[in-house]
Amino acid sequence: MAMKIRLARGGSKKRPFYAIVASDSRMPRDGRFLEKLGTYNPLLAKDSEERVKMNMERVQYWLSQGAQPTDRVARFLEAAGVAPKTERKNLKKAVPGKKATARAAEKAAKAAAAEDSAES
């Protein structure tokens, strides 16, 4: 059974509140879970201690049993000092889109044409 430590969404519309849970990866996001390990309230300030609460003993237990944390939960664990920091790279974010590259090429062509006409 593939285990995940992930977020289960609660709260009302536009007021999210998440439970950090250990569940089978085949279960739906807000569906059945085996154990609630903590909470995450994104509406609180980033430096608030109430924003992320976790029962670290149980988290360590599930990690030792082979549970894989999701990306967001892995970041919480890194901030708590439980998991080693991993370097993340979003290589596609830095690459301009099709229209931007076309605009840049067009601008470069106009600049080259302006230089050629200025030299003549």
Question: pLDDT at position 1, please?
Answer: 66
Write out the two tokens for 93.
């974010």
- Tell me the mean pLDDT in the region 14-42: 92
Architecture of domain 3-80: 2-Layer Sandwich (3.30)
Across 34-51, b (16+ Cβ under 10 Å) vs e yields: eeebbbbeeeeeeeeeee
Flag whether pLDDT at 119 surpasses 80: no
In the structure, what pLDDT confidence band is assigned to residue 120 with cuts at 50, 70 and 90?
low
Calculate the average pLDDT of the chain: 89
All structural domains of the chain with their residue ranges: 3-80, 90-120
Flag whether pLDDT at 27 surpasses 70: yes
Of 65, 60, 40, nearest to 50 (Cα)?
Answer: 40
The CB density around residue 63, as the number of other CB atoms within 10 Å, is: 17
Per-residue pLDDT reduced to its tens digit, 91-100: 777 788 889 9
- Its pTM stands at 0.71
Question: pLDDT at position 112, please?
Answer: 87
